[in-house]
Structure 1
Amino acid sequence: MSQSGLVLGYHAVHPFGRVDLSKGDRASVQELLRTLLAPLEPFFSSAKARVRCPGATAVRFDQTASEVEGICRPLWGLACLLAGGGEFHGTQWWVDGLKAGTDPESPEFWGFPRDNDQRMVEMCPLGYALAVAPVFWDSFSARERANMEAWLGNSINEKNMPNTNWLWFRVFANLGLKKNGGKFSQERLESDIRHLDTFYRGGGWSNDGPEGIHQMDYYSSSFAIHFLQLLYAKLAGDEDPERAAEFRRRAQQCALDLAHYYDAEGRSIPFGRSVGYRFAMVSFWGALAYADVELPAPLTWGMVKGIVMRHLRYWQTQNDMWSPAGTLTVGYSYPNMYMAENYNSPGSPYWACLAFICLAVPETHPFWTSPEEDHWPSLPPVKPLPQPGHIMSNLGGHCMLLSSGQACSYPMKGTHAKYGSFAYSSAFGYSVPPGLFTLEQYALASQLGLSDDGGEYWKTRRLSSYASIETRGDGADAGPVLVSVWAPFSDVSVRTILMPPTPAAPNWHLRIHRIEVQAAAANASRSIMTADGAFAIHNENSTDGRYLDLYNTAVGEGTQPKIVGNYDTLTPDGWARGHEGAFAVCRDAGAVGIRSLEAAGSLREAAREANLVNADPNSNLIHSRTVIPTLQHTLKSGQTAWYVTAIYAKPAGPTVAVASFLDGWDSPPALPAWLQAEIAENKA
């Protein structure tokens, strides 16, 4: 590629999207990676030590560290390519850049890290690259090797680090030097792994932090902990066989859980933070092959390969995730700063290069020689996962997880949406608030919001005082549910029960809320507004791209009731009775809807109403314009109410007829007998 770089125009498709992956061979995935690396060329500094990706957005660390991200994160892909015998014409850019960046006398010196410095994160791909791609260390002079030892080893071993997955980054900094005979600290390497082992919770799962933290997102699997355990098992297994065997054993256990996060269309379930790393979500599966893990039944290498290849093909269809210069943007399916973390610099998304660990796997490995298979026929359609606190479902045309109890251990933008939502879908994604004023800005997809100021500010579930997977029903009707207890206000308590879909009603799941507002003598007029949201869905019609109109049977698209526009919630024709519900159908996305089921018998007094909340733009990860079917109600001081909410979701798909999108809408599930009994006994 010339120094002018790639420029994407009006109808341009990124080279990433034009690579033919239909054969599922290693050569095509190598080419896919090259299309990711090549557009970075114009953004290298003169001495090649820094990469300043397009975008002038700031992060919580300094600009130099941001540009160190820009050069080091793509190393995950380049190192895997080189380790597997592949080639890239720009390899010398990184060779030269590593020399200049670690040279204190260079004007492009990266600077030694301070305590808790972002530079420590980037030492992980650098350490791995040194360990597996000889071209780097072999190209260094004696002085340049000493510079690398000082920057990569001495500096990080002397500094404090966050008590999280970051400790693995120091392990790999030392391991990279060790594999090349450089100066490193075996004592620090050992002590960090011993401490990381205290994060282990059982069943193959590790927390992203110490006791008292419940955070098991993709950092526990593909982004860091499991992934790096497997790389360690591969690189250090000969001299640390017992630990390597344990890491492989954990991966075997966890694989049977993690398989439930990837659907038949190649999509993974967005959950938690850093989902802007996109296809890094699938790196765990390539790492299984890289570390020579023996797969647990019923998984096969054809299934593992299918998960990886379908996932890469899915991301090939996401043409809006690129900058005009062809670099990855901060966001998910499109550029989006609202969902970004405060550590997501313009170079940050290249952590996605973890996905290319499969390129370090020999072509003779069954990962590459096996024909692709679908893993879902061999897995249960519903499975409770005790460690992450999820109930997984593959019914209804998408993978979905119900979640309770997880929470980020530190303040994070949109943390209630990333961890506290009730349901997360591979097809519909989660939504984050682009503002904090009215429902349109809060975008309460798969959340119950409560407001005590007339609907200006809303509180949702973030921390739970109790969360557990329990069993409800008897005999053949027994099944798992998720129970959580939480308090949006000091005088309001909520007990929520989440019930997964069933084969009889595959497109529905239930949320049951018992909400108690304490009586307040000093403020007897106090009222609490509630808003229970379904999944968000694309709000564009297929005819002219405008917002969805009222549902048109002939077209198979639209909403019921109508979308009345932003903030105009008093328009009468924008409301329906709760038991009638609200739905939205978009031809390219499918259908979502919501109904209240408490309008029967003793629960009639709840009398919720349904409408369509026209969420503010750019709140959803997948579609920039969305609408959220929602049930609303108001509770008074001293009142206790039961809400039984039925959520409908049927995604579009290559084999799903548009005319079938609402096939299940008029057949919501009945209230289970156990639920009626609990309500009658006034307990949940």
Structure 2
Amino acid sequence: MSRQATTGLVIPYDGIHPFAQVALTDRSSVQELLRTLLDPLEPFFSPQKARVRCPGATAVRFDQTASEVEGICRPLWGLACLLAGGGEYRGTQWWIDGIRAGTDPESPEYWGYPRDNDQRMVEMCPLGYALAVAPVIWDSLTQRERENVEAWLGNSINEKNMPNTNWLWFRVFANLGLKKQGGKFSQERLDADIEHLNTFYRGDGWSNDGPEGIHQMDYYSSSFAIHFLQLLYAKLAGEDEPERAAELKKRAQMAALDLAHYYDKEGRSIPFGRSVGYRFAMVSFWGACAYADIDLPAPLTWGMVKGIVMRHLRWWQTQHDMWSPAGTLTVGYSYPNMYMAENYNSPGSPYWACLAFICLAVPETHPFWTSEEEDQWSVLPSTKALKQPGHIMSYLGGHCMLLSSGQACSYPMKGTHAKYGCFAYSSAYAYSVPPGLFTLEQYALASQLGLSDDGGEYWKTRRLSESTLEMRDDNPVLVSLWSPFPDVRVTTYLLPPTEAATNWHLRVHNIVAGREVMTADGSFAISNQRAADGRYLDLWDAEKGEGTQPKLIGNYDLSTPEAWATGAKGAFAVSVKAGAVGIRALEGEETGRTATLVNADPNSNLVESRTTIPTLQHTVKKGESVWYVSGIYAKPPPPPGGDSKVDGKSYLDGWDTLPEIPCWLREEIGLGA
């Protein structure tokens, strides 16, 4: 198959994509927002329209044809939702023609039957949903073409093995799409898959992304797959299966009260876990709640749900660097970034983001659309412990924060310790992934404790852990036990911010070392750019309201005395753009920890391409047992348009108001009163 010429929309030098120019106010404006995503794909359709080869020649774990099937099927999520809600798109026929050619074994652009565990199975899900809700696709096919679709979509997937994860929902929707159109499908396979998926349910509305023994509850449990598809199923199959639909809606009602804590007033969600390159799909759970017309649990309202979705989309409109020069989505988060990519992120992969447009399938008379936008934080508790994912959520200090028990992906994944093992995740300060595996600069240990037994060349962090969510003096505490080396044991306590010290959370470690290890305890990563010219931050300047303490030194002269301070004095970095982050040792001077700024390698952070990480360092001798009490400081800028003025001078207002160490913890550590 020949490549299409890469002509069409080209993003101008100022980087303003049409996506950013839509004033989001109502349903029709969100329809237009979707069209700005679909339009740039036009030049990349193959001659018979069965494949879309998005810009980028990066390889993935599956074949190139499957990658191009992703390219056509993932945007179908958005198109199907648009059509289901009565909207129109000028390129609808491209997808109809593409489905016709892609499922035809005699076509040169045939997609090919899937093998076991084939990526094609994932793309069958949006196709199945599109068949179910957009009759124009099925109605446009001849009898022979419908038989081709039945053979490719139904027979092939029902005969193959699949991963024991959220993927099983994809087979459910392949069968459901055919069922809704009177095509050949397997009710037996559909029922068996749903019954097995029910075994993933853990309670309180939450499903695990896999069977017993796996602890992975991220956006796949909510917006990317499980809850999202449960709600779509409840909507489409509810009349035939009222009891099953009612149970799926009930789970969403319970989960909604937890998931509302993941989105801040500015519209940002907390980046956590894998596949966050799907970007605004993070918010699709809420549109699916409206689509399934669930009864919202008090105190949530449809105005709050609408506010979560609309603010989230508006925030993504401000991320001008996430586009290719041709106007297509890139692999990455706020900018193109292969370091954080999974081995299944092809150039067409990011269009799973189109799940966010399920709200377009919601009738314009629904209160989701007729309500005024509201802020959920006027009614939510500022701190909440979530039993099932093992999180403590906080909205003190100006950002949504997630303290994590330490989940783990069930298979090898690039940067898995950063995606699941960090101690804290923030809507204002995204996590960082390692762009290399040599020295702290490459490991970029934001919100992680690293340990090295070779003098600081290689570092190990928390990945697998045994964790419990406890109540101490009526306050939630996360406790995790983990071993970076067979003879090194770490017990970590995570305590959320308090009303008395809203910009601080506590991170406490007991390290019992069977070998000598260096330690590095990192705060959040923050933008390392001066406001005036974008160069690295200078030493803290109170008049400018910007800089670091101690001095930020380059990667090649770390022995410079000016680069270090005592652990009690700590290290901080202040950016006019991003606020302030820092870390201080609160256990006293006896441990001898020191503070510095790690000049993280570029492109390690998801949102800021240049960052620095205030860090405490120390060496634990063989046979020693030590306690660290780290206070982690974070104060982001106020939301734009509010009463508060952005002023770098105020970012350190809470730096000298140290958090109190609770009495129970002092007693456990052996600190004086």
Measured against the shorter chain, the TM-score band is over 0.9
SS across alignment from 2:493:
strand
TM alignment of 1:454-493, pairs within 5 A: 454-464=455-465, 466-473=466-473, 478-493=474-489
Task: Tell me which residue corresponds to 1:20.
Answer: 23
User: What is the Cα deviation at residue 681 of structure 1?
Assistant: 9.3
TM alignment of 1:238-387, pairs within 5 A: 238-387=239-388
- In 2: Cα distance, 1:669 partner to 1:244 partner: 47
Task: Tell me which residue corresponds to 1:429.
Answer: 430
- In 2: Cα distance, 1:67 partner to 1:567 partner: 44
- In 2: Cα distance, 1:395 partner to 1:510 partner: 14
Task: Tell me which residue corresponds to 2:654.
Answer: 664
User: What is the Cα deviation at residue 679 of structure 1?
Assistant: 1.1
1:568 to 2:553 alignment: no
8 Å Cα contact 1:405-1:468 kept in structure 2: no
Task: Tell me which residue corresponds to 1:590.
Answer: 579
Deviations along 1:331-374, whole A, 9 cap, x unmatched?
00000000000000000000000000000000000000000000
8 Å Cα contact 1:445-1:628 kept in structure 2: yes
User: What is the Cα deviation at residue 657 of structure 1?
Assistant: 3.2
Deviations along 1:147-183, whole A, 9 cap, x unmatched?
0000000000000000000000000000000000000
Aligned match of 1:516 in 494, 512, 515? 512
Runs of 5+ unmatched residues, structure 1: 519-525
8 Å Cα contact 1:530-1:633 kept in structure 2: yes
Task: Tell me which residue corresponds to 2:112.
Answer: 111
Residues 78 and 460 of structure 1: CA distance in aligned 2, closer, same or farther (over 3 Å) = same
8 Å Cα contact 1:157-1:188 kept in structure 2: yes
- In 2: Cα distance, 1:11 partner to 1:431 partner: 27
Give the TM-score, by structure 1 length: 0.96
Task: Tell me which residue corresponds to 1:59.
Answer: 60
8 Å Cα contact 2:587-2:671 kept in structure 1: no
1:11 to 2:14 alignment: yes
1:540 to 2:529 alignment: yes
Aligned match of 1:646 in 608, 631, 638? 631
- In 1: Cα distance, 2:7 partner to 2:447 partner: 45
TM alignment of 1:63-462, pairs within 5 A: 63-462=64-463
2:501 aligned partner, one-letter code:
A
User: What is the Cα deviation at residue 680 of structure 1?
Assistant: 2.2
- In 1: Cα distance, 2:548 partner to 2:426 partner: 21
Task: Tell me which residue corresponds to 2:620.
Answer: 635
SS across alignment from 2:257:
helix
SS across alignment from 1:244:
helix
8 Å Cα contact 2:329-2:351 kept in structure 1: yes
8 Å Cα contact 2:15-2:321 kept in structure 1: no
Deviations along 1:134-158, whole A, 9 cap, x unmatched?
1100000000000000000000000
- In 2: Cα distance, 1:511 partner to 1:69 partner: 42
TM alignment of 1:597-612, pairs within 5 A: 597-599=586-588, 604-612=589-597
Task: Tell me which residue corresponds to 1:680.
Answer: 670
8 Å Cα contact 1:276-1:331 kept in structure 2: yes
User: What is the Cα deviation at residue 236 of structure 1?
Assistant: 0.2
SS across alignment from 1:233:
helix
- In 2: Cα distance, 1:248 partner to 1:664 partner: 43
Task: Tell me which residue corresponds to 1:40.
Answer: 41
User: What is the Cα deviation at residue 405 of structure 1?
Assistant: 3.4
2:619 aligned partner, one-letter code:
T
Residues 656 and 567 of structure 1: CA distance in aligned 2, closer, same or farther (over 3 Å) = farther
User: What is the Cα deviation at residue 9 of structure 1?
Assistant: 2.2
User: What is the Cα deviation at residue 668 of structure 1?
Assistant: 1.3
2:572 aligned partner, one-letter code:
F
Task: Tell me which residue corresponds to 1:498.
Answer: 494
Task: Tell me which residue corresponds to 2:567.
Answer: 578
- In 1: Cα distance, 2:385 partner to 2:661 partner: 21
1:462 aligned partner, one-letter code:
R
User: What is the Cα deviation at residue 80 of structure 1?
Assistant: 0.2
1:529 aligned partner, one-letter code:
M
- In 2: Cα distance, 1:456 partner to 1:360 partner: 53
8 Å Cα contact 2:593-2:618 kept in structure 1: yes
SS across alignment from 2:633:
strand
1:4 aligned partner, one-letter code:
T
- In 1: Cα distance, 2:102 partner to 2:506 partner: 54
SS across alignment from 1:5:
coil
Aligned residue pairs, count: 663
1:382 aligned partner, one-letter code:
T
CA RMSD in angstroms, aligned pairs only: 1.1
1:88 aligned partner, one-letter code:
Y
- In 1: Cα distance, 2:317 partner to 2:333 partner: 13
Task: Tell me which residue corresponds to 1:523.
Answer: none
**Deviating more after overlay: 564-573 vs 114-123:** 564-573
Runs of 5+ unmatched residues, structure 2: none
User: What is the Cα deviation at residue 605 of structure 1?
Assistant: 2.1
- In 1: Cα distance, 2:531 partner to 2:668 partner: 45
